[in-house]
Chain A
Amino acid sequence: MKPRAGGSADIRRGGLVGAEATRAKAPDARAALSRFAFYSHLWVGVIFTTALVVISVTGILLNHKRGLGLMPDVVSKPSAPFAAALPLAHLARVALEHASTGGTEYAERDIDRMDVRPRSGYVKVRLRNAASTEVTVDIGTGNVLHMGRRGDVFLEKLHSGEAFGGIWVLISDAAAVALVLVCATGYWLWLAPRLRRSGATGGGA
């Protein structure tokens, strides 16, 4: 579907003068906009297809990370008031000792973050390894509630482009802008023929 530049062609032929030519400027601008919409829709759509496919797939997987088992869902109630919680250093040591039972020795520098959940009564200790292993420890008793990999960490990095380095984060941004542009131009390409038809008949679409 290629937009036709009807208005501009009429003016170039010299058929319209004065007020008629002024009135013809609107369809001319509309034709130019349609041309821009068509080519930007085509080029931007094709160039960013792969990036948008990856962003969409990882986005869907992240939306369902619990259901897909990418993120451990530990159900727990606080075993003690938050004021009586064990010190963070102790909880980290418990988590590291438990993670080290798998064969690989972990130290404090291997901890990526500690996510304390006072309402659930536990702390999630995430390690900086390939699997993003996470150990869930009860903050009241120091018991290990769960240990497993966080599959969503890598997916998040892939989704944002962070997994490939700094420039891919900007490409991820560009892909988002491209998606908005493709949507907007798509609407215009759908709307423009209807506007032209309604203008020609002088009634509604």
Chain B
Amino acid sequence: MTVALMFLGVFLVPTLLLIVGHRIRRRAPRWRRMFWGAIAGYVVAMVVGTAAGIFPPEAWGPADFWRGLLGLGTFLLAPAVGAVIGMATATRRSQAA
């Protein structure tokens, strides 16, 4: 499970972002905002995930929930959250315009 999550977060998500980013300038503004939101989310995930990864092992809790969430979950969650934020801001802007 952990290995599968790591593979998804570390390799699949950037590959998907690269595929989605193909000819991004021809896509709708909302799609572009979602893409850049996901990119920003993934960059945040890289920082948070790496920081959680190098945290000393003796400091981990017995359930290891936060470390698992920060080290593995952020690589999947942060791009999704970023994309949602990107989509939301695009909607607000288009309504304002």
Contacts and interface: CB of A to CB of B under 8 A. Distances in A.
Interface in B1-32: 2-3, 6, 9-11, 14-15, 17-18
A164 to B, nearest CB: 7
A158 B18 contact: no
Of B49, B57, B60, the most chain A CB neighbours within 10 A belong to B57
B3 A54 contact: no
B54 A58 contact: yes
Interface residues of A, number: 23
Interface in A46-80: 46-47, 49-51, 53-54, 57-58, 61
Interface of A is mostly: helix
B71 to A, nearest CB: 10
A142 to B, nearest CB: 27
B15 A47 contact: yes
B58 A130 contact: yes
A50 B49 contact: yes
A131 interface: yes
B2 to A, nearest CB: 8
B50 interface: yes
Nearest to A133: B58
Contact of B54 (A61, A149, A165): A61
Contact of A50 (B3, B10, B54): B10
A42 B17 CA distance: 12
Interface string A167-199: 100000000000000000000000000000000
Contacts of A54: 50, 53
Interface of A: 42-43, 46-47, 49-51, 53-54, 57-58, 61, 129-131, 149, 151, 154-155, 158, 164-165, 167
